[in-house]
Amino acid sequence: MPTLDPGIGEKFSRRTQRAINHDGTFNVRRRGGPHQHDPYQWLITMPWWPFIGIVVVFFTVLNVGFALAYIALGLDDLPGVAAPHGWWQDFLSALFFSIQTFTSVGYGHVYPGSNGSGFLSSVEALVGVLTFALATGLLYGRFSRPTARILFSRTALISRRADGTPCLQFRIANLRNSILIDLQARVILKTVDEATLDQRYDLLPLERSAISFFPLTWTLVHDITPESPLYELQAEDYARLGIEVIVQLKGYDDTFAQDVHARNSYTHDEIEWHRRFIRAYEVGDDGIAVVNLDQVHDTEALR
Amino acid sequence: MPTLDPGIGEKFSRRTQRAINHDGTFNVRRRGGPHQHDPYQWLITMPWWPFIGIVVVFFTVLNVGFALAYIALGLDDLPGVAAPHGWWQDFLSALFFSIQTFTSVGYGHVYPGSNGSGFLSSVEALVGVLTFALATGLLYGRFSRPTARILFSRTALISRRADGTPCLQFRIANLRNSILIDLQARVILKTVDEATLDQRYDLLPLERSAISFFPLTWTLVHDITPESPLYELQAEDYARLGIEVIVQLKGYDDTFAQDVHARNSYTHDEIEWHRRFIRAYEVGDDGIAVVNLDQVHDTEALR
Amino acid sequence: MPTLDPGIGEKFSRRTQRAINHDGTFNVRRRGGPHQHDPYQWLITMPWWPFIGIVVVFFTVLNVGFALAYIALGLDDLPGVAAPHGWWQDFLSALFFSIQTFTSVGYGHVYPGSNGSGFLSSVEALVGVLTFALATGLLYGRFSRPTARILFSRTALISRRADGTPCLQFRIANLRNSILIDLQARVILKTVDEATLDQRYDLLPLERSAISFFPLTWTLVHDITPESPLYELQAEDYARLGIEVIVQLKGYDDTFAQDVHARNSYTHDEIEWHRRFIRAYEVGDDGIAVVNLDQVHDTEALR
Amino acid sequence: MPTLDPGIGEKFSRRTQRAINHDGTFNVRRRGGPHQHDPYQWLITMPWWPFIGIVVVFFTVLNVGFALAYIALGLDDLPGVAAPHGWWQDFLSALFFSIQTFTSVGYGHVYPGSNGSGFLSSVEALVGVLTFALATGLLYGRFSRPTARILFSRTALISRRADGTPCLQFRIANLRNSILIDLQARVILKTVDEATLDQRYDLLPLERSAISFFPLTWTLVHDITPESPLYELQAEDYARLGIEVIVQLKGYDDTFAQDVHARNSYTHDEIEWHRRFIRAYEVGDDGIAVVNLDQVHDTEALR
């Protein structure tokens, strides 16, 4: 059966921080190992501003390089270059010619007038076109990455069902204006043994672990029955045991044709006791249901 | 077990409209929530005409901007500009030069004749090439989105099997000239409790819930046995209970290598009683079966 | 359980040809139905030569159109056009200028010398760049389509296992130099009732219906036990019943990171009796196994 | 049940080398078969340096071809060509003009001055733009291929559990700085019959065959119970039987949104006896776990 346990138990010398952050990333660092180059993946997952910066820097460095090469050849090889010739003006002229070649603009007021500059500008033209082919692929790679936008309630609740059964609940909504289908959830409880600091993982069965459609909100419920690892635990136990409730979601976004994965966790101080969720949707006069995403976190005390 | 129920029951203050429209979209609006930007998804899912409009506007605004920048620099920096110089002619000349740079055409009869215009045109050339790299990605993103084209019969039927068992039926066909394989169907009945307005969801088991190949038509059949939620319900019950039969299909289009998802629903007034489907395919003299898609909706009264 | 039956039985007025051709396509035509446009899919699935033809024609038609527009504007608006001016030479000059603009080459010996030609060439430059953005997407769409290359033995065999059990066998090999993993097979028997011409579909269970790795060959075996629909049928029964053995394969090509689907069928005259497959691989002196793809079809008589 | 057996047993005339190499490829060669062209797949899977070489060669050959065509037309058709005219200088001039057309740079100091060169340069412009559209697709195809980077321990161990049960173990870690989820493993034992040289495949059940998250390391454990094919085998038996432990992993890389497949095997001389793995992760003062990838292979003797 799938488990969170990544090895034969998990033995640590200290208590760890939360395993999963609210953005779904893991609190784990790596060290060592063989060289690992994934330049493409690095380029398409980095935030936008550094990416644009890298593109501009790369473009500039390449063109400065070619500009210096044209200068080395001698600017007599580029008829039409602006006068007067000083080293700074020459550099700018060579740089502009380089950029006009690299980007295939090729005005022609400055042109390669020797075999040397003809060859160098031919090489630069090829490099330029291939560079922009590469940029096209990178841009598309960046854009087409799946982006799950699941909103989790800020807190999880220890609540009570109509029949009195205590239960652990949290709520999710789809932030995007799209249809999520076949959404499946798995919830795992992580506890820490106070003596050995061993970490233990238990599956928390849900009232329903999957829904066909997800247009409104979904409240995931784990009944705290005698079989539940949470049975008869009090709030102070949650803190003492370093409890972390780990959620894994998987579905399919049918509007954007993407798989959706999302993770989140609730540490003991993010669990509220004896509260329940207030309904976050209503029906307008026209009979169409409206979800109010701001209300996903709203709870009220149990009476 | 997968269910349509998006929460602990579903409680509304009014009757809602149908949950699913005939094009598969949901009758749900969203409100509030954190800022949610998905510009790429918005651009690739919008209809074609607005998209082309946005491209043209974006192109125009950028080039007008650069044109104004060239004018601010002074058109003496762009030798070759047409005479006489008036503000409108100057603007047009600058605009044309801008477009010729942005699109990398670069005729050269007008060219950057100063460091200022050389720098500005270099920036514009880079912006232009990156913009078209982006457009390439957007066009491909738009084209490669999966498009399911499942034709549902306009009505569902309450019919009778050969052995007398009543059954609920509807029929589907593949509109595209492609092979759908491993098509799976799930049918869910939504009813509304008259007193509480609670909505209830029940799975309607199908005679067959999946087929290997889908070249012709497929009539999905739910036998109304004593276990069925529809057992012994009459037409007026269907209206009173606000019945909606929700269909979810999932398959793989092997010709176009795309996953296929489709949804539809039949409200009580889209269900016909005591009719059956007329066969919508025939075999020609050459022994090849022909599906007539216009006949997918055709029914006849039961005798 | 998945079935081939596309409806409540399948009733035909005549015997049909084989359901599945050797290239995996279905023998089904479509007629009628709402307008169904899938230009992108049509463009990426058509054979190469028609596609290239369409590209050339589209390019030519667009440029001829723009050329005629330049002529309508008047070639005085395009300084540098070649002399002498006759209607044919003018057309060629306008056409060349159009192409130089459309492809962003923009030599500049001919250039737009009026606002009218400036505007028209700007429009053409934008159209040209977007057209090639579109072409890039189409080319990539054509290339990245999954291509399953499964070689099926030309014939299926009625053979005998070591313990005397009769069995139906056929053999497959991976034509591509790639690793197929998790290959699953489903075999369905289609028979035709002589009286009613109803078509019936039965699953033929396989000795093994899936293999982890598929580097060599795989012989799929259906044991003809008393439970098998083929039990005690003779060759003449196969013909009389219009038997067709339909094969559906699904797997994952790990070298090219593509899903693989393949279909084939064996009609009664493609089934050989009392033969068995000759092994199609051997081990070289270096201990490396070699598959000989030409031998996949090779059979010998049972002794 | 999925099996490694690719046919009815596997009969060889000699012992084979290992079936799976450490990089996951199979030790199998292919021969014969119908012509199999997959130029796109070949281009996107080949290593980078040969690919770049092919691009440069293709570009050069095409442009040399067009250059010779311009020369055949006569360089008088290309006004602006450099003087003096000798066959080598003419060739270079034609080549540079060809490249400037092919890459859409189009300076214009040399330009097509006849209908013949106008037509030829138009064809070349179209070919050039389509070639770079193709290059864009190839570059993106190369970059977007999934790359699994699973680090396997160099050796597998015959170890002992706390309760004394012997077990076969090996360890894996994720080399990439990404989150692998839903990782599933299958381990198959290959043995060779000494007399017949038949190869036999048995599934080795794992203590856990799947984990939800894979941020740290995962030690896969097969308990050598009386039901295990390895029960009571000694080291010399492993060699005599030509044992090979074949591992197949499948998961989803949620950071890079790619499916992950990995394969490896351990031959008898890669299995160490009576050792166990040393833990390869620790917790820093800040409570964040750190994986040390260099320690994944580290083992110590059992006491």
Question: What is the per-residue pLDDT across D145-166, written as a single tens digit (0 to 9) for each?
Answer: 776 688 999 999 999 988 889 9
* Chain D CA closest to residue A103: D105
3-class secondary structure, D64: helix
In the block, tokens 């110089």 appear at B85
How many CB pairs (< 8 A) connect C and D? 197
Q: Please choose, from the candidates B52, B140, B134, B63, the residue with its C-alpha nearest in 3D space to the C-alpha of residue B95.
A: B63
Q: Say which DSSP state A294 is in.
A: G
Strand partners of residue B266:
B245
| Distance of alpha carbon C88 from alpha carbon C96, whole angstroms | 12
Contact D178, D301 (CB under 8 A): no
The model's confidence at residue A167, banded by pLDDT at 50, 70 and 90, is: very high
Contact A239, B32 (CB under 8 A): no
**ipTM > 0.85, yes or no:** no
Contact C265, C19 (CB under 8 A): yes
Is C108's CB within 8 Å of A104's CB? Answer: no
Strand partners of residue C169:
C157, C221
How many CB pairs (< 8 A) connect A and B? 193
Q: Which of 226-265 (D) contact C at CB < 8 A?
A: 248, 250, 259, 261, 263
The model's confidence at residue B204, banded by pLDDT at 50, 70 and 90, is: very high
The CA-based angle B13-B14-B18, given to 5 degrees, is: 130
Q: Which amino acid is at A29?
A: R
What is the reported pLDDT for B82?
A: 67
Please enumerate in sequence order all residues whose Cβ is within 8 A of that of D204, keeping only pairs 6 or more positions apart, or say none: D168, D187, D188, D189, D222, D228, D229, D230, D245
Please enumerate in sequence order all residues whose Cβ is within 8 A of that of D50, keeping only pairs 6 or more positions apart, or say none: none
Is D108's CB within 8 Å of B107's CB? Answer: yes
**Residue C104 with chain A: CB contacts under 8 Å:** 104
Encode pLDDT of D210-233 as tens digits: 887 776 788 999 999 999 999 999
The model's confidence at residue C277, banded by pLDDT at 50, 70 and 90, is: very high
B86: alpha, beta or left, given left = phi > 0 and alpha = psi -120 to 50?
beta
Q: Which of B35-39, C33-37, D44-48, D272-276 has the lowest mean pLDDT?
A: C33-37
Q: Which of C49-53, D30-34, D76-80, D138-142 has the lowest mean pLDDT?
A: D30-34
Contact A159, A171 (CB under 8 A): no
Interface with B, mutate which of C3, C103, C126 (most B CBs under 10 A)? C126
Is D108's CB within 8 Å of B104's CB? Answer: no
Count CA atoms within 13 Å of residue B209 on its CB side. 11
Strand partners of residue D1:
none
Burial class (CB in 10 A: 0-12, 13-18, 19+), C269: exposed
Q: Say which DSSP state B215 is in.
A: S
Please report, for residues C85, C151, D209, D291, the alpha-carbon distance to residue A3 in angstroms, rounded to integers and kept in the order given: 81, 40, 9, 19
* Chain A CA closest to residue B261: A254
Mean pLDDT of chain D: 85
The model's confidence at residue B136, banded by pLDDT at 50, 70 and 90, is: very high
Interface with B, mutate which of A129, A136, A213, A219 (most B CBs under 10 A)? A213
**Residue B106 with chain D: CB contacts under 8 Å:** 106
Q: Say which DSSP state B60 is in.
A: H
What is the reported pLDDT for A58?
A: 95
What is the reported pLDDT for C33?
A: 65
| Distance of alpha carbon A6 from alpha carbon A229, whole angstroms | 20
| Distance of alpha carbon D246 from alpha carbon D263, whole angstroms | 7
Is D289's CB within 8 Å of A28's CB? Answer: yes
Phi, psi torsion values for A56, nearest 5 degrees: -65, -45
Is 70 exceeded by the pLDDT of residue D269? yes
Q: Please choose, from the candidates C266, C269, C265, the residue with its C-alpha nearest in 3D space to the C-alpha of residue C240.
A: C269
| Distance of alpha carbon D73 from alpha carbon D65, whole angstroms | 13
Touching C (3+ Cβ pairs <8 A), the chains are A, B, D
**Residue B126 with chain A: CB contacts under 8 Å:** 56, 59, 99, 103
Is 70 exceeded by the pLDDT of residue A8? no
Is B27's CB within 8 Å of A289's CB? Answer: yes
| Distance of alpha carbon B298 from alpha carbon D73, whole angstroms | 67
Is the bond into A50 cis (omega within 30 degrees of 0)? no
The model's confidence at residue A36, banded by pLDDT at 50, 70 and 90, is: low
Interface with D, mutate which of A5, A13, A29 (most D CBs under 10 A)? A29
Is C108's CB within 8 Å of A107's CB? Answer: yes
Copy the structure tokens of residue A9: 């138990």
Q: Is A209 on the interface with C (CB under 8 A)?
A: no
Is C213's CB within 8 Å of D31's CB? Answer: no
| Distance of alpha carbon B267 from alpha carbon B248, whole angstroms | 15
What is the reported pLDDT for C291?
A: 82
| Distance of alpha carbon D178 from alpha carbon D182, whole angstroms | 13
Interface with C, mutate which of A103, A132, A136 (most C CBs under 10 A)? A136
The model's confidence at residue B2, banded by pLDDT at 50, 70 and 90, is: very low
Copy the structure tokens of residue A130: 């291939």
Q: Which amino acid is at B145?
A: R
The model's confidence at residue D121, banded by pLDDT at 50, 70 and 90, is: very high
Encode pLDDT of C215-229 as tens digits: 678 899 999 999 999
Alpha helices in C85-168 (DSSP H): 87-102, 115-143
Q: Please choose, from the candidates B278, B215, B182, the residue with its C-alpha nearest in 3D space to the C-alpha of residue C18.
A: B215
Interface with B, mutate which of C5, C15, C30 (most B CBs under 10 A)? C30
What is the reported pLDDT for D169?
A: 95
Q: What is the distance in angstroms between the CA of the first residue and the CA of the last residue of chain B?
A: 39
What is the reported pLDDT for A9?
A: 40
Q: Which of A160-164, B257-261, D3-7, D291-295 has the lowest mean pLDDT?
A: D3-7
D274: alpha, beta or left, given left = phi > 0 and alpha = psi -120 to 50?
left
Q: Please choose, from the candidates B160, B188, B158, B156, the residue with its C-alpha nearest in 3D space to the C-alpha of residue B172.
A: B156
Please report, for residues A145, B192, C267, the alpha-carbon distance to residue C195 in angstroms, rounded to integers and kept in the order given: 57, 49, 20
Looking at residues C95-106, what average pLDDT do you find?
Answer: 93
C-alpha distance from D97 to closest chain A C-alpha (Å): 9
| Distance of alpha carbon A58 from alpha carbon A52, whole angstroms | 10
Touching A (3+ Cβ pairs <8 A), the chains are B, C, D
Q: Which amino acid is at D128?
A: G
Contact C209, C22 (CB under 8 A): no
Which domains can be identified in chain C, with CATH numbers?
Answer: 39-144 (1.10.287.70), 150-301 (2.60.40.1400)
Residue C149: how many CB atoms within 10 A of its CB?
19
Is 90 exceeded by the pLDDT of residue B156? yes
Handedness of CA C62, C63, C65, C66 (dihedral sign): positive
3-class secondary structure, C33: coil
Q: What is the distance in angstroms between the CA of the first residue and the CA of the last residue of chain A?
A: 39
Q: Which of D111, D129, D248 sits opposite C109 (nearest CB)?
A: D111
Q: Please choose, from the candidates A285, A274, A284, A281, the residue with its C-alpha nearest in 3D space to the C-alpha of residue A295.
A: A281
What is the reported pLDDT for B8?
A: 29
Tallying the residues shown for chain B, one arrives at 303
Touching B (3+ Cβ pairs <8 A), the chains are A, C, D
The model's confidence at residue D8, banded by pLDDT at 50, 70 and 90, is: very low
Contact C43, C140 (CB under 8 A): no
| Distance of alpha carbon D113 from alpha carbon C93, whole angstroms | 10
What is the reported pLDDT for A33?
A: 65
| Distance of alpha carbon C123 from alpha carbon C130, whole angstroms | 11
Is A175's CB within 8 Å of B28's CB? Answer: no
Q: Please choose, from the candidates A127, A107, A113, the residue with its C-alpha nearest in 3D space to the C-alpha of residue A66.
A: A127
Mean pLDDT of chain A: 85
E-strand ranges in C153-197 read 156-160, 166-174, 180-192
Contact A190, A19 (CB under 8 A): yes
**Residue B108 with chain D: CB contacts under 8 Å:** 107-108
Contact B59, C130 (CB under 8 A): no
Mean pLDDT of chain B: 85
**Residue A256 with chain B: CB contacts under 8 Å:** 38, 41, 45
Alpha helices in chain B (DSSP H): 39-45, 48-73, 87-102, 115-143, 235-240
What is the reported pLDDT for B3?
A: 45
Is 60 exceeded by the pLDDT of residue A113? yes
Contact B30, A284 (CB under 8 A): no
What is the reported pLDDT for A101?
A: 94
Q: What radius of gyration, in Å, describes the C-alpha atoms of chain C?
A: 30
Contact B268, B18 (CB under 8 A): no
Is 90 exceeded by the pLDDT of residue B49? yes
Q: Which of B104, B108, B136 sits opposite D108 (nearest CB)?
A: B108
C-alpha distance from C204 to closest chain A C-alpha (Å): 31
3-class secondary structure, D53: helix
C-alpha distance from D67 to closest chain A C-alpha (Å): 13
Is B106's CB within 8 Å of A100's CB? Answer: yes
Higher-scoring residue by pLDDT: C203, D215: C203
Looking at residues B219-246, what average pLDDT do you find?
Answer: 92
Q: Which of C38-42, C79-83, C96-100 has the lowest mean pLDDT?
A: C79-83
The CA-based angle C35-C36-C42, given to 5 degrees, is: 140
Looking at residues C109-138, what average pLDDT do you find?
Answer: 92
Q: Which of A128-137, C27-36, C81-90, C112-121 has the lowest mean pLDDT?
A: C27-36
Please report, for residues B70, B85, B116, B235, the alpha-carbon distance to residue B76 in angstroms, rounded to integers and kept in the order given: 10, 11, 11, 82
Q: Please choose, from the candidates D179, D153, D173, D198, the residue with its C-alpha nearest in 3D space to the C-alpha of residue D11.
A: D198
Higher-scoring residue by pLDDT: D211, A5: D211
Percent residues over pLDDT 90 in chain A: 41
Q: Which of 131-170 (C) contact B at CB < 8 A?
A: 133-134, 136-138, 140-141, 145-146
Q: Which of B33-37, B238-242, C89-93, D120-124 has the lowest mean pLDDT?
A: B33-37
The model's confidence at residue C94, banded by pLDDT at 50, 70 and 90, is: very high
Q: Which amino acid is at D14?
A: R
Is the bond into A39 cis (omega within 30 degrees of 0)? no
What is the reported pLDDT for C254?
A: 76
Phi, psi torsion values for D281, nearest 5 degrees: -140, 160
Q: What is the distance in angstroms between the CA of the first residue and the CA of the last residue of chain C?
A: 39
**Residue C60 with chain D: CB contacts under 8 Å:** none
Q: Please choose, from the candidates B114, B105, B110, the residue with its C-alpha nearest in 3D space to the C-alpha of residue B89.
A: B110
The model's confidence at residue A213, banded by pLDDT at 50, 70 and 90, is: confident
* Chain C CA closest to residue A133: C136
* Chain C CA closest to residue A101: C105
What is the reported pLDDT for B17?
A: 73
**Residue B128 with chain A: CB contacts under 8 Å:** 103
Q: Please choose, from the candidates B51, B56, B42, B40, the residue with its C-alpha nearest in 3D space to the C-alpha of residue B137.
A: B40
Is 70 exceeded by the pLDDT of residue D285? yes
| Distance of alpha carbon B254 from alpha carbon C36, whole angstroms | 18
Is C141's CB within 8 Å of B136's CB? Answer: no
Q: Please choose, from the candidates D23, D262, D25, D258, the residue with its C-alpha nearest in 3D space to the C-alpha of residue D144.
A: D258
Q: Is C296 on the interface with D (CB under 8 A)?
A: yes
Copy the structure tokens of residue D110: 């040399």
Encode pLDDT of A67-76 as tens digits: 999 999 888 8
What is the reported pLDDT for C7?
A: 34
Count CA atoms within 13 Å of residue A231 on its CB side. 7
What is the reported pLDDT for B258?
A: 74
